[in-house]
Structure 1
Amino acid sequence: MTSLSTPVHYVSVGHPAYSQPFPCEPSTAKIGRELVRNVLGMWCLDNLADRATLIATELIANAARHTPCHEIHLIVTRPSLTRVRVGVVDQEPSRLPALSQADDAEESGRGLLLIDALSDRWGCDLHGSGTRPWAKEVWAELRLEVAE
């Protein structure tokens, strides 16, 4: 079982980034929320924690539901001074996310709609070179309110 006592990878140059591998299963969402909340706390960005943890939960749930992967990587980064990015990398680049409209009677199918509503922007990046990507990262960004 992966836990937060497992070392988190930290990038010491450029913008801060934290990454941790997890099993690709729905129960990973709890540990993922803890990681996101702890990272944002270290950055003194607790005000983003509720939205960011919900986004992480949905990204993890989507990977667990829509890919056959055994492992994912949860990544929390600061791509700029005014943005936080939460992403999940899986090794199923052929299954790209797409917004869909779930019927009122359906119990699932609203994850990306929720991410779209909570984030300032979201997307998907393929990892790898040329025409044969080896993974994809589905991510969402939150904008920081900067005092002037």
Structure 2
Amino acid sequence: MPQPPTRARPTGHPGYSETLPREPESAATARRLLRAACAVWGLDAWAEDGALIVSELVANAVQHARRESIRVVIDRTEAGRVRVGVVDFSKTRPVRKTPGPEDEGGRVLALVDGLAETWGTDPLPWGKRVWAELRGKEEG
């Protein structure tokens, strides 16, 4: 009996994700994940800005989330775009502030805003995803 033709099925865009404890030390793991993704995708030039962005997003989630874990997601949404996201269980959306000289709060999103092409928040049934996108030219 002849076999049916084999078809490739779409798998979507490549991505990396990891659930981490809601601890400041998780920023180091998130940076390693981001750097590994950029290396696999041949986007090493994006690794430093991406590592700084994911560190800041993790720090924000560690400070404001409600449960013991967070999820870091690194997606290559298209050839010239990488989305870095942190999912947590708080529904409170971050607000970008212009901090004063003595104010530590609000600097996270100001820094992300300066490094990323764009950033935002997606509400989820159980919390939110704060994300930032890097866009540029792929390396050779």
Mark yes or no: TM-score above 0.5: yes
Task: Determine if the alignment matches structure 1 residue 144 to structure 2 residue 140.
Answer: no
Which residue, 83, 86, 92 being the options, matches 2:84?
A: 86
Q: Tell me which amino acid in the other structure corresponds to 2:69.
A: E
Instruction: State the 4+ residue runs in structure 1 displaced beyond 6 angstroms.
Output: none
Alignment partners' CA distance in 2, 1:104 and 1:55: 21
Identity percentage over the alignment?
Answer: 42
Match of 2:113? 116
Match of 2:36? 38
Output aligned runs, 1:124-139, within 5 Å.
Answer: 124-127=121-124, 133-139=125-131
SS at match of 2:132: strand
Structure 1 residue runs of 5 or longer lacking an equivalent are 1-11, 128-132
RMSD: 1.5
How far off its partner does 1:146 sit? 5.2
Alignment partners' CA distance in 1, 2:106 and 2:132: 17
Match of 2:72? 74
Alignment partners' CA distance in 2, 1:107 and 1:114: 12
1:22-81 per-position Cα deviation (integer Å, ceiling 9, x unaligned): 001111101110110011101110000000000000000000011222100000001111
Relative to the length of structure 1, the TM-score reads: 0.83
Count, aligned residues: 130
Tell me if the contact between 2:81 and 2:133 (Cα under 8 Å) persists in the aligned partners.
yes
Tell me if the contact between 2:66 and 2:88 (Cα under 8 Å) persists in the aligned partners.
no
Structure 2 residue runs of 5 or longer lacking an equivalent are 1-9
Tell me if the contact between 2:13 and 2:76 (Cα under 8 Å) persists in the aligned partners.
yes
Greater gyration radius: 2
Tell me if the contact between 1:101 and 1:109 (Cα under 8 Å) persists in the aligned partners.
yes
Relative to the length of structure 2, the TM-score reads: 0.88
Which residue, 16, 19, 25 being the options, matches 1:21?
A: 19
Tell me if the contact between 1:84 and 1:144 (Cα under 8 Å) persists in the aligned partners.
no
Match of 1:3? none
SS at match of 1:137: strand
